[in-house]
Amino acid sequence: MNLQNVLLGATAAVALTTGAAQAEVLFWSTQAKPIEETQAMRDQVLSGFDAGADYQANDSGPFLTRLNAELQAGDGTIGVLGDLHGGFAAMDAANLADLSGLDLGGVTVNPTFLELGKLGTDQQHYLPWMQASYIMAANKKALEFLPEGADIDALTYDQLIAWSAAVEEATGDKKFGFPAGPDGLKHRFFQGYLYPSYTDGVVRTFKSDAAVGAWEAFRALWSHTNTGSTNFSFMQEQLLSEDVWIAFDHTSRLAGAFNERPDDFVAFPAPAGPTGRGFMPVVAGLAIPVTAPDMAEAEALVAYMMKPETQIATLRATNFFPVVDVALPDDLPPSVRAAGDAIAKMSGAADANPGLLPAGLGDKGGDFNRVYVDSFERIILGGQDIRAVLDDQAKVLDAIMQETGAVCWAPDAPSEGACPVE
Amino acid sequence: MNARTLPYLLILPVTLFLCVFFIYPFVLVAQLAFTQGDGFTLANFREVVGYWKFPISLKNTLLLAAIVVPIQLALSLAMATMVSKMEKGRDLVLYVWTIPLGISDLAAGIIWLAIFEQSGFLNSMMSGMGLIDKPISLLTYEHPWVIFIAIALAEIWRATAIMLVILVAGMGLIPKEYYEAAEVFGASPWKRFLKITLPMLRPSLQTALVLRVILAFEVFAVVIALGGSLFPVLMAETYAYQFDLLNSGAAAAIALIILAISIGFTLIILRLLRVPKGATI
């Protein structure tokens, strides 16, 4: 074979492979990243989509790099995007096609989440895909140390601190675990749990006296927290290794523990503070970039993902709950039953005080999170004065709110213009 | 082919490659760093330098380089001397010593994490020997110096070989006659090392130090694996600005600051270890 033939053959081979790849819709996502979940998405969820879908899960950095490159080039290969609400909120809404005309075949979608998907415009820039929340989990060995009179389904932060202290006293180890690692979701705890529970706000009350009280309480809890927590990102690992007996984390980051040893762990609602039981619902969405190579196929895939049976399959694959009206079957994995139960108790509690995901921050979402993470690092790890740190970080927070002009979200009282730091 | 133009023709591909994949991106990065919206601004630099973690990460990066590089220099000199004295098995030893070079720095960080973790090798060893009752967590915010030592060890383990390879090559170039003459005059091995090896090794030392110091300022994956956010360094700040905060301008600014520090130290090393004119081997 001469060189020319080899080259011709190679070109033909390349053309064939790219041709085959183009027939499938590229589903570009930041969700279901652990390899087992990615595989489950491909085998159990997307295998029923006739045209075929190529599910690719990424970290948000590479996710955005490729998406932005395609948007800038005005020519893309990505068909459907899957990301958290915060990720879409950080994008330019004009790059996400309007999905309001999409025929979902009579499926009823959660109206609160649908509204979130409009990203503050009158177009449906993304459709809600699945939801989750953050809950508490404990090893059953820890239950005997619960403070007298405490109901595990209606704990207060004071009781949680007393409980963790009692466990430490009995075992000699700090057994409360908190996902404060580099990839841990600690900022959501402060934004959706600690602040709503103690200050009934997130932005307005950032440096209030109540916030000082919140951080004092968290400091007390931290004194009984496993000191390795700054390396913990998925609390299921430490629950299974029993380095930790009581933990707070995202439902999908606790699922492994419940699925592996369902009889050893209990899931329960987050604790309540003086201003209620703060908790944060998490929602992921589906969008189509304006550069999608085949709009009709991409829309078909989105509609497929919204079908009740696909939503159930997604729940099994990722431990994220459906966002459409559907009855849950009885044979769900233990993690789903445990988490579903805890979320239901949490959102149905009389003192429930939901703290929504930050909205309207555009590409400043990361900066917003950093305000809370920095406060944590300085107050808790650095041992700095709470009042001084909050006053200092409040300036950064105020600058972010002024720059983005984001209005207040629950549980902060509504604002006219940019949400003020009071 | 004209003998005059031939050299230029030969370096043309490399030059083109560098222009396209180094100079051009560099210009883009500089542009990013000095603009915000439209027009020239220093706002990005003010932002990154004004952030409360910047002085800490600058201090950490410099301190790490100041501790790690001298130790590596001494180690690699000792190792290179040993290797060049070996008669048999020299290649085998060199290969073994350079294995860490073939491992990515993240993998190196993870290897050392496996040693220092709460359920890691060090803890199992110590409890096996009866030194401790139960595993202790070492890499915590409570003992920042343990994190520092772990990172320094991992860096030394990983990157000493790069200096070693350069120094071994340099030692091979030193003519044997000098050593023979020194021996005739009764110079001790230590004296021969000081008076012959070190001065003759200057060009290699220059290269090795420049390379190693630049790498030291770019330390990232090992730090992330062992210290996470507990040990802030400049490169980790760059990553955070680019991927967590999606602020390319600030990331470019901090990258340029790292570049400036690297250039500064390169110039200092070149100056300190310069080879006097005409004094070539």
Of A64, A230, A378, the CB nearest to B246: A64
* Neighbour count for residue A415 (Cβ, 10 Å): 15
Cross-chain Cβ contact B224/A182 below 8 Å: yes
Place of tokens 């600014």: B253
Cβ atoms A351, A108 nearer than 8 A:
no
User: What distance in Å separates the CA atoms of residue B109 and residue B224, rounded to the nearest whole number?
Assistant: 8
User: What distance in Å separates the CA atoms of residue B215 and residue B237, rounded to the nearest whole number?
Assistant: 16
pLDDT band at A331 (very low <50, low <70, confident <90, very high): confident
Q: Is residue B30 part of a domain?
A: no
Q: Is residue B16 part of a domain?
A: no
Percent of chain A at pLDDT > 70 equals: 95
Give the CATH number of the domain where residue B168 resides: 1.10.3720.10
Q: Is residue B223 part of a domain?
A: yes
Percent of chain A at pLDDT > 90 equals: 55
From B243's Cα to the closest Cα of chain A, the distance in A is: 5
User: What distance in Å separates the CA atoms of residue B15 and residue A153, rounded to the nearest whole number?
Assistant: 68
Q: State the Cα angle at B222 between A242 and B155, rounded to 5°.
A: 125
User: What distance in Å separates the CA atoms of residue A177 and residue A261, rounded to the nearest whole number?
Assistant: 18
Cross-chain Cβ contact A231/B228 below 8 Å: yes
Give B247's contacts in chain A (Cβ within 8 Å).
363, 366-367
pLDDT tens for A159-215 read 999 999 999 999 988 999 999 988 889 999 999 999 999 999 999 999 999 999 999
Cross-chain Cβ contact A241/B119 below 8 Å: yes
pLDDT band at A87 (very low <50, low <70, confident <90, very high): confident
Give the mean pLDDT of chain A.
88
User: What distance in Å separates the CA atoms of residue A267 and residue A252, rounded to the nearest whole number?
Assistant: 12
Classify A354 as helix, strand or coil.
Answer: strand
Q: Is residue B102 part of a domain?
A: yes
User: What distance in Å separates the CA atoms of residue A375 and residue A388, rounded to the nearest whole number?
Assistant: 10
> Which residue type sits at A210?
A
Give the CATH number of the domain where residue A265 resides: 3.40.190.10
Two structure tokens written together for B93: 């030893």
pLDDT tens for B222-265 read 998 888 788 999 999 999 898 888 888 999 999 999 999 999 99
Q: Quote the number of domains for chain A.
A: 2
Residue-level pLDDT at A323: 87
User: What distance in Å separates the CA atoms of residue B47 and residue B166, rounded to the nearest whole number?
Assistant: 40
Q: Does A61 touch chain B (CB under 8 A)?
A: yes
Cross-chain Cβ contact B137/A241 below 8 Å: no
Give the mean pLDDT of chain B.
89
Examine the domain organization and report whether A276 and A325 are in the same domain: no
Give B53's contacts in chain A (Cβ within 8 Å).
374
Give the DSSP H/E element, type plus range, for residue A29: strand A25-29
Of B52, B224, B228, the CB nearest to A230: B228
The yes-or-no verdict on residue A6 having pLDDT over 60 is no
Q: Is residue A189 part of a domain?
A: yes
From B227's Cα to the closest Cα of chain A, the distance in A is: 8
Examine the domain organization and report whether A112 and A74 are in the same domain: yes
Burial call A180-207: b when 16+ CB within 10 Å, e when fewer: bbbebbbbbbbbbbbbbbbbbbbbbbbb
Complex ipTM value? 0.75
Range of the domain at A268: 133-281+347-404
Examine the domain organization and report whether A315 and A373 are in the same domain: no
Q: Does A219 touch chain B (CB under 8 A)?
A: no
User: What distance in Å separates the CA atoms of residue A211 and residue A394, rounded to the nearest whole number?
Assistant: 12
Of A231, A366, A378, the CB nearest to B246: A366
pLDDT tens for A58-85 read 987 789 889 999 999 999 999 999 998 8
Examine the domain organization and report whether A296 and A183 are in the same domain: no
Classify A297 as helix, strand or coil.
Answer: helix
Q: State the Cα angle at B243 between A374 and A80, rounded to 5°.
A: 125
From A365's Cα to the closest Cα of chain B, the distance in A is: 7
Give the DSSP H/E element, type plus range, for residue A127: strand A127-139
pLDDT tens for A90-136 read 788 889 999 988 888 888 888 878 888 888 788 999 999 998 899 99
Examine the domain organization and report whether A213 and A228 are in the same domain: yes
Q: Which residue of A has its CA nearest to B51?
A: A396
Q: Is residue B160 part of a domain?
A: yes
Residue-level pLDDT at A107: 86
Q: Based on the number of CB atoms within 10 Å of its own CB, is A152 exposed (0-12), middle (13-18) or buried (19 or more)?
A: middle
Cross-chain Cβ contact B228/A61 below 8 Å: no
Q: Per this entry, what is the length of chain A? A: 422
Examine the domain organization and report whether A27 and A50 are in the same domain: yes
Termini Cα distance of chain B: 32
Residue-level pLDDT at B280: 58
pLDDT tens for A88-98 read 887 888 899 99
Place of tokens 């520092």: B148
Q: Does A182 touch chain B (CB under 8 A)?
A: yes
Q: Based on the number of CB atoms within 10 Å of its own CB, is B71 exposed (0-12), middle (13-18) or buried (19 or more)?
A: middle
Q: Does B52 touch chain A (CB under 8 A)?
A: yes
Give A58's contacts in chain B (Cβ within 8 Å).
none
User: What distance in Å separates the CA atoms of residue A31 and residue B138, rounded to the nearest whole number?
Assistant: 32
From B214's Cα to the closest Cα of chain A, the distance in A is: 25
Task: Enter the DSSP assignment of A48.
Answer: G
Report the pLDDT averaged over residues A405-416: 84
Examine the domain organization and report whether A109 and A144 are in the same domain: no
Q: Is residue B45 part of a domain?
A: no
Cross-chain Cβ contact A378/B230 below 8 Å: no
Residue-level pLDDT at A215: 96
Q: Is residue B143 part of a domain?
A: yes
Cross-chain Cβ contact A228/B139 below 8 Å: yes
* Neighbour count for residue B94 (Cβ, 10 Å): 17
Q: Based on the number of CB atoms within 10 Å of its own CB, is B212 exposed (0-12), middle (13-18) or buried (19 or more)?
A: buried
The yes-or-no verdict on residue A20 having pLDDT over 60 is no
pLDDT tens for B165-204 read 999 999 988 998 999 999 999 989 899 999 899 989 998 9
User: What distance in Å separates the CA atoms of residue A278 and residue A193, rounded to the nearest whole number?
Assistant: 4
Range of the domain at B99: 53-272
Q: Quote the number of domains for chain B.
A: 1
Of B139, B244, B247, the CB nearest to A231: B139
pLDDT band at B278 (very low <50, low <70, confident <90, very high): low
Least Cα distance to B46 among B247, B258, B253 occurs for: B253
Q: Per this entry, what is the length of chain B? A: 281
User: What distance in Å separates the CA atoms of residue A141 and residue A145, rounded to the nearest whole number?
Assistant: 8
Residue-level pLDDT at A281: 86
Give B139's contacts in chain A (Cβ within 8 Å).
228, 231
Report the pLDDT averaged over residues A306-323: 90
Examine the domain organization and report whether A20 and A33 are in the same domain: yes
Give A59's contacts in chain B (Cβ within 8 Å).
243
Give A392's contacts in chain B (Cβ within 8 Å).
52
Examine the domain organization and report whether A83 and A101 are in the same domain: yes
User: What distance in Å separates the CA atoms of residue A391 and residue A411, rounded to the nearest whole number?
Assistant: 21
Examine the domain organization and report whether A114 and A104 are in the same domain: yes
pLDDT band at B133 (very low <50, low <70, confident <90, very high): confident
Of B230, B244, B245, the CB nearest to A230: B230
pLDDT tens for A284-303 read 999 999 999 999 999 999 99
Residues 121 to 150 of B: which have CB under 8 A from any A CB? 137, 139-142
From B124's Cα to the closest Cα of chain A, the distance in A is: 15
Place of tokens 């595993």: B135
Q: Is residue B7 part of a domain?
A: no
Give the list of residues 6+ apart from residue A174 with CB closer than 8 angstroms, or none: A164, A168, A224, A225, A226, A227
